[in-house]
Amino acid sequence: MRNLVRPAIAVLAAAPCALSVPAKAADSVAWDIVAGLTTEVGQRLAGSEAESRARDWGAEKLKALGFRNVRIEPFPIRGYVRGIDKARIIAPVPQALAVTALGYSGATPDKGIEGEVVYFPTLAALKAAPDGSLTGRIAFIDHAMRAAQDGSGYGPYGQVRREGPGVAARKGALAVVIRSVGTDSHRNPHTGVTSWPEGVKPIPAGAVSNPDADLIARLAGMGKPLRLALTLTGKTVDGLPSGNVVADLPGRDPALPPVLVGCHLDSWDLGTGAIDDASGCAIVTAAALRTQVQGQTLRTIRVLWAGSEEIGGFGGEAYAKAHAEPHALAMESDFGADRVWRVQTKFAPADKALADRIVAALGVMGVVAGRGSANGGTDVEPVIAKQKLAVVDLGQDGTHYFDLHHTPDDTLDKVDPAALEQNVVAWTQVLAIVANADSIASTE
Ligand SMILES: [Zn+2]
């Protein structure tokens, strides 16, 4: 498909060679970080002892790579400590289910609960149910998320997980089970955080795998009473230790505000967080270093390996609060390890030439300019909002991202070294431009 629109031959002959990504990476920094974090630390649930080990691992790694001012910046969080997750259909046909608790789920007693299931094909259908109509019953919320290159299904369908349990609780439900917010057909449930409206008591909230959700929908369609047994014994705990890892590659002019590149260090606990988000930390760190190969950049490049993103974006908030010093621009990588296909920017009108240079540099590698504005992502959004920073978003191909996201399948073997390297090359192109720009205006 990519050759359907060809420039005229004369233009083609005059154009520079397309920047192809070499089969072998120029260095092994990115791969070493993804492999190291997933192997030597593994799963890194926000607020857990494993997340603390990940911070130590990260600080050591960044020092060894030559970063300066490497520090761990601690903060406490309200976290979720997983317990036992079990679910089975009791009637009309006994069947086992693959289930996971959502972050901040309410807890069942150790022996579990049982209840009649009320099937809602959509979140809107649940919202339309009369108040009190779910008392003593288990709400099941279905949805129809599909895979998309830009991952655009996650916004609207993700509301089933983020908002659905709170709606069910407000209507008196005993518990809530959702179709996983994911696009695979494996028997893996997808976890993720939910939230509860002010004054609403959390109820047990779980997600079943897509094939199990299909089964529940078919059984509900039989019109016979559908009953479920559910055990989710995890607990919400206040005051758990978390923290960010922050490190600098100092620029030639220390008086100029730095370029901030972010990712998150914590992961969900079902897999090992290879695509979410060890890859992001690997990409931004490797690119920051590779930018220095051509000589020290004018501006400092600062990396932020944020803690506790998954459970509520606490690392990004803590960073913005702790760092009132001016920044020039922020970027983040948190959408897996597949290839960059799109670039979007947010610059002040005065910096249009800078934006054009970035688009041109990436265009050579087949990355297209999107029509939207850049927003950065959870770990850098708070500092962007506070300081009205310029932003560049490198959009990764998300077609398969939600097959793996927050599942036991988020493991190292899913990371393609060639795609990871393409990310590092794209990021290096952008960082070489912005970290050497003598002026980057606020977007206010
Ligand atoms: Zn993530």
Q: Note the pLDDT of residue 20.
A: 62
- Residue 88 pLDDT grade (very low, low, confident, very high; cuts 50, 70, 90): very high
| pLDDT above 90 (res 441) | yes
Mean pLDDT of 107-133: 97
How large is the average pLDDT for residues 188-213? Answer: 98
Per-residue confidence (pLDDT) for residue 104, from 0 to 100: 98
Question: What is the predicted pLDDT for the residue at 444?
Answer: 82
404 CA from centroid of ligand 1 (Å): 11
249-290: pLDDT as tens digits: 999 999 999 999 999 999 999 999 999 999 999 999 999 999
Is residue 99 pLDDT above 60, yes or no?
A: yes
Provide the pLDDT for residue 26. Answer: 84
pLDDT score for 9? 37
Please give the average per-residue pLDDT across 104-131, as a whole number.
Answer: 98
Q: How confident is the model at residue 10 (pLDDT cuts 50, 70, 90)?
A: very low
Q: How far is ligand 1, taken at its centre, from the CA of residue 274, in Å?
A: 10
Q: What is the pLDDT of residues 46-82, one digit of tens each?
A: 999 999 999 999 999 999 999 999 999 999 999 999 9
Count CB-CB contacts under 10 A for residue 413.
Answer: 8
Q: Cα(265) to centroid of ligand 1, in Å?
A: 9
379 alpha carbon to ligand 1 midpoint, in Å? 9
Query: What integer is the mean pLDDT of 159-185?
Result: 97
Average pLDDT for 181-206: 97
pLDDT at position 8 over 80: no
Instruction: Report the pLDDT averaged over residues 190-200.
Output: 97
**Is a pLDDT exceeding 80 seen at residue 137?**
yes
Tens digits of residue pLDDT in 227-242: 999 999 999 999 999 9
Question: pLDDT grade, residue 11 (50/70/90)?
Answer: very low
Alpha-carbon distances, residue 376 vs 260, 328, 406 (angstroms): 10, 13, 21
What are the CA-CA distances from residue 17 to residues 145, 175, 340, 421, 430 (Å)? 40, 59, 19, 19, 18
| Residue pLDDT, tens place only, 24-40 | 778 999 999 999 999 99
Distance (Å) from CA 338 to ligand 1 centroid = 14
pLDDT given at position 294: 87
pLDDT(365) > 50:
yes
pLDDT at 5 over 70: no
Q: Which of 5-14, 15-24, 310-319 has the lowest mean pLDDT?
A: 5-14
Give the pLDDT mean for 329-353.
98
**pLDDT top residue among 184 and 12:** 184
C-alpha 161/C-alpha 202 separation (Å) is 13
pLDDT at 70 (0 to 100): 98
Give the percent of the chain with pLDDT over 90: 93
Reply yes or no on whether the pLDDT at 18 is more than 70.
Answer: no
Summarize the confidence of residues 95-113 as an average pLDDT.
Answer: 98
- How many Å apart are CA 183 and CA 30, to the nearest integer? 27
Query: What pLDDT was estimated at residue 22?
Result: 65
**Confidence at residue 21, expressed as pLDDT on a 0 to 100 scale:** 66
Assess whether pLDDT exceeds 60 at residue 411.
yes
**Through-space distance between the first and last CA atoms of the chain, rounded to whole angstroms:** 40
Which residues share a beta bridge with 183?
A: none
Compute the CA torsion angle 249, 252, 257, 263 (nearest 10 deg).
-20
Confidence label for 387 from pLDDT (cuts 50, 70 and 90):
very high
Task: Identify the CA nearest to 86 among candidates 106, 111, 104, 103.
Answer: 111
- Spacing, Cα 193 to ligand 1 middle (Å): 12
pLDDT above 90: residue 16: no
pLDDT reported for residue 321: 98
Distance 277 CA to ligand 1 centre (A): 5
What is the pLDDT, as a whole number, of residue 375?
95
Residue 12 Cα to ligand 1 midpoint, Å, equals: 39
pLDDT score at 14: 40
CA-based nearest residue to 31, from 383, 416, 338, 353: 416
How far away, in angstroms, is 204 Cα from ligand 1 center?
A: 24
> Ligand 1: distance of its center to the CA of 402 in Å?
11
Say how many Å lie between the CA of residue 77 and the centre of ligand 1.
17
- 237 touches 81 (CB < 8 A): yes
Ligand 1 centre to CA of 64 (Å) is: 25
> Ligand 1: distance of its center to the CA of 335 in Å?
6
Q: How far away, in angstroms, is 37 Cα from ligand 1 center?
A: 15
pLDDT score at 25: 77
Residue 341 near residue 150, CB atoms below 8 Å: no
